[in-house]
Amino acid sequence: MLLEIPDVLTPDEVGTMRRALEQADWLDGKVTAGAQSAKAKRNEQLSETHPLAERFGQRILEALAGNAVFMSAALPQRIYPPLFNRYAPGHDFGYHVDNAIRPINGTRERVRTDVSATLFLADPDSYDGGELVVRGAFGTHAVKLPAGSLLLYPGTSIHRVEPVTRGVRLASFFWVQSVVREDARREMLLDMDVAIQRLTQTGGDADALVQLTGVYHNLLRQWAEV
* CATH number, position 217: 4.10.860.20
Mean pLDDT of 57-73: 97
**Is residue 155 within 8 Å of 100, Cβ to Cβ?**
yes
Residue 50 annotated as binding?
no
Q: Are residues 32 and 122 in the same domain?
A: yes
Residue 96 annotated as binding?
yes
CA distance 192 to 220: 11
Mean pLDDT of 136-152: 95
Q: Is pLDDT above 80 for 39?
A: no
Instruction: Give the chain's end-to-end CA distance (angstroms, integer).
Output: 22
Q: Are residues 81 and 187 in the same domain?
A: no
Domain harbouring 65, CATH code: 2.60.120.620
Phi, psi of 159 (to 5 degrees): -150, 165
Mean pLDDT of 173-189: 97
How do residues 75-119 score in pLDDT, each as one tens digit? 999 999 999 999 999 999 999 999 999 999 888 999 999 999 999
The answer to which of 12-21, 24-33, 80-89, 168-177 has the lowest mean pLDDT is 24-33
Q: Are residues 112 and 219 in the same domain?
A: no
Q: Are residues 61 and 143 in the same domain?
A: yes
Residue 169 annotated as binding?
yes
Q: Are residues 194 and 110 in the same domain?
A: no
Q: Quick one: which H or E segment has residue 101?
A: strand 101-103
Q: Is pLDDT above 70 for 123?
A: yes
Q: Are residues 25 and 41 in the same domain?
A: yes
Q: Are residues 11 and 116 in the same domain?
A: yes
CA distance 161 to 187: 25
Q: Quick one: which H or E segment has residue 12?
A: helix 11-22
Task: Count up the domains in the chain and report the number.
Answer: 2
Q: Are residues 129 and 34 in the same domain?
A: yes
Residue 98 annotated as binding?
yes
Q: Are residues 192 and 172 in the same domain?
A: no
The answer to which of 32-41, 52-61, 107-116 has the lowest mean pLDDT is 32-41
Report the candidate in 167, 144, 27, 25 with the shortest Cα–Cα distance to residue 89: 167
Q: Is pLDDT above 80 for 38?
A: no
Q: Within 13 Å of residue 187, how many CA atoms lie on the same side as its CB?
A: 12
